[in-house]
Structure 1
């Protein structure tokens, strides 16, 4: 993982001074279990180039991980190689002088001077399409070049790869350019390796000052850096407070002679505050509630298979549905299963509540014990399967497992526009596809024609005109159970 900063033309020689690094010396430090090196490959008054190279300790990366000894993904992942929030954490100390603009007094005028900069960094693993990625930087005045590696493939893997190298060119102060990278690199990667606290909100606010508030992709950036609605609201509050302090007026100017507190009557202010503070139900919780409602209305619901049960939240919820006596929670991840077992243990001893049985399994491996159950559930599962493999999977479900009722949910691609997502973007990096309502209905129709099932389609979540519901749900019923 690396970042190359190149300055040319007038003032280029100030690069080393603004970075507070001697261009004749190699900077070599250990920062948070990673080796950070900075070397100047060019240093003159007309051209300067600093290469920042980071080598994390792969063993330290997995120490203390919650998945230790339970999940192979702690060893097989890209965190050791890609430019991400980890990379920014490693280099923050080395670039602290430039980020904070606290250089020597003689160089302070150059903190606000724009330089002809070229910033190259990578590899970046991002699920954003090239066009969206480019828009994040072109909106800031940069020329953007997105490149992929030099490896030669005889198939489409290279064009579909999420790994890219990014080169930016533009006139910008070094401090602002670095602050933009420290906000946008985590947004590209969409993975935070640390808890998002108040300090993180404050950092985004400080680093984004002067450019983020007016960025056309501001919503996307905040969603991918702060992630949670509460943190985003906190950021917005900081912005409003800042705007208020900058534009403070005398009471009679601001509200026609009324004090600020009187400008909004107490009942109205209270109602507005309550509306703003009202918690919004998560879509995942709405899915679980909708599925539980469907199960409760079924005449046959004694035995249930929850495929892709994850940490067991849905299975635990279904245990409280009257009439349910057996739940098999099928999940391939050992880490998720351990968390599910902890959740299921809390149900032990409750009268009339069956404790779900964790089952290690996958849709790709047939399990005789899952045959002929009353209900089978695939909640947000099929989109993680390659479409060309879906036919065999569904044949196993309908023909071999033959549940009385199959409940299937999947994202509605059309609704992504409500989330202001790019047309090519998917809601999760592991999604192999996302279907429109028409495509989903066509697949469901194909399955009912091939197997002895009827289907009823519905939606889950907040309805939007022209886009439908965020989640699509299909309820398949075996004909001989009608």
Structure 2
């Protein structure tokens, strides 16, 4: 199987620096099931092309495999398209051979990775479940011009029609690291199959390779399912991890929204992201309540946990998430293994559900649900309220959620769609207040409402926040 990448930049041979592969040298790398060859069919100042040729040994792929399984002793283990068609095997080779380039590193020429290059990528034979339209749906939102031509079953027999393969050609001005990560994720996605066991580590690989583009991709759910081989538990974890980056999507959108409080001609101050404003509002509410022991329910990657630990007034911090992988990622981001002992003693990470009673959540001063409730299926909202307000029953509960009325201010958000694909709903201000007032009355809390972000006179703020306090506390 073959993949070529061509550059027509001012000095095209700079491609060799970026890839850490010299144009005058052919190289071979051992990979699972075969060998990967890297060479340059052309290398001039005006055009430079690198080729990755993956030579697959189909016998080596099944050597040592135990009998049984879906293939068993089938001849298809030895006679298949793996040596000829781009697939997850090519993506694996891409990740091994060009690992440093994918990470955007070039020590000899550190300015190069940030440059957008005129690139042309060609994959002569690519399995594409769903046809050429699917290839366009995957790559066009990333800025590529896509030429996906179906490969006929037999050119001599046109009446047989097209095969499931396409010849894919991509052109565009893209950073090389971004281009490599697009290919790494989307080649197996288009094939809709992986030729190796999909373990939980694949979630980390997807999140890492999708950094900066997957979260906003309109086909993100399809990409996630296909990349993770439709394994439900892994898909749920990945969706949760992406949902925890929900802050990133509204931040980008919010930067494009004019502050309605500004007069005509008045210059705006430097933007503070909506996510940062949200965390600041939550921290202010907790400080105002005098909370010292705080639970962050649905803590995700730990953005709020970091802020809580930075304030010594929060003596005990509990981060809770239903996803074990998300907690592992939070531990890495917080550098738990390098954290000073006194700070480490203040933090506990706990896997637990938001909708089931857990004795470990009782006895805390405050519970925070920051951009969490909208990810819960509506039939489970009652169970969440019973768990938090009825059973755990902290003195203070802080809840933030998007204000759907404000969505029209986001120019990049199509009408009628929600801010995040994992949102089960988004409430108006009236709906949020109706729910919060009902919960407060049922469980003996008072509630007050605060805006977060630039408040529109007609539509309200982008984020709405409710602070609940036990009556008589």
| TM-score (normalised: structure 1) | 0.52
Tell me the number of residue pairs that the alignment of Structure 1 and Structure 2 aligns.
275
1:191 aligns with 2:189: no
**Could you say which residue in structure 2 is the equivalent of 1:258?**
286
From 132, 135, 138, give the equivalent of 1:136. 138
**Could you say which residue in structure 2 is the equivalent of 1:175?**
177
Looking at CA atoms only, which structure, 1 or 2, has the larger radius of gyration? 1
C-alpha deviation, 1:258, in angstroms: 3.2
Contact preservation (8 Å) 1:84, 1:185: yes
**Could you say which residue in structure 2 is the equivalent of 1:113?**
115
Q: Name the CA distance, whole Å, in 1 between partners of 2:234 and 2:226.
A: 11
1:60 aligns with 2:60: yes
* 1:142-161 equivalent positions in 2, closer than 5 A: 142-149=144-151, 151-159=154-162, 161=163
**Could you say which residue in structure 2 is the equivalent of 1:403?**
none
**Could you say which residue in structure 1 is the equivalent of 2:259?**
none
When residues 218 and 177 of structure 1 are mapped into structure 2, their CA distance, relative to the original with a 3 A threshold, is same
**Could you say which residue in structure 2 is the equivalent of 1:29?**
29
1:230 aligns with 2:233: yes
C-alpha deviation, 1:201, in angstroms: 0.5
* 1:232-311 equivalent positions in 2, closer than 5 A: 232-242=235-245, 247-248=275-276, 253-254=281-282, 257-258=285-286, 261=294, 272-274=354-356
Contact preservation (8 Å) 1:122, 1:164: yes
C-alpha deviation, 1:149, in angstroms: 4.3
Q: Name the CA distance, whole Å, in 2 between partners of 1:13 and 1:217.
A: 34
Contact preservation (8 Å) 2:39, 2:52: yes
CA offsets 1:435-467 (integer angstroms, 9 cap, x no match)? xxxxxxxxxxxxxxxxxxxxxxxxxxxxxxxxx
**Could you say which residue in structure 1 is the equivalent of 2:403?**
none
Secondary structure of the 1:212 match is coil
Q: Name the CA distance, whole Å, in 2 between partners of 1:98 and 1:36.
A: 16
Contact preservation (8 Å) 1:34, 1:90: no
Contact preservation (8 Å) 2:131, 2:150: no
When residues 239 and 271 of structure 1 are mapped into structure 2, their CA distance, relative to the original with a 3 A threshold, is closer
Q: Would you identify which runs of 4 or more consecutive aligned residues in structure 1 move more than 6 Å?
A: 262-266, 275-278
Q: Name the CA distance, whole Å, in 2 between partners of 1:263 and 1:98.
A: 37
Contact preservation (8 Å) 1:251, 1:258: no
C-alpha deviation, 1:237, in angstroms: 3.0
Q: Which moved more, 1:139-148 or 1:235-244?
A: 235-244
C-alpha deviation, 1:252, in angstroms: 5.9
| TM-score (normalised: structure 2) | 0.53
C-alpha deviation, 1:12, in angstroms: 2.2
Structure 2, unmatched stretches of 5+, are 249-272, 299-317, 322-351, 357-372, 378-420, 422-473
C-alpha deviation, 1:96, in angstroms: 1.5
Secondary structure of the 2:179 match is helix
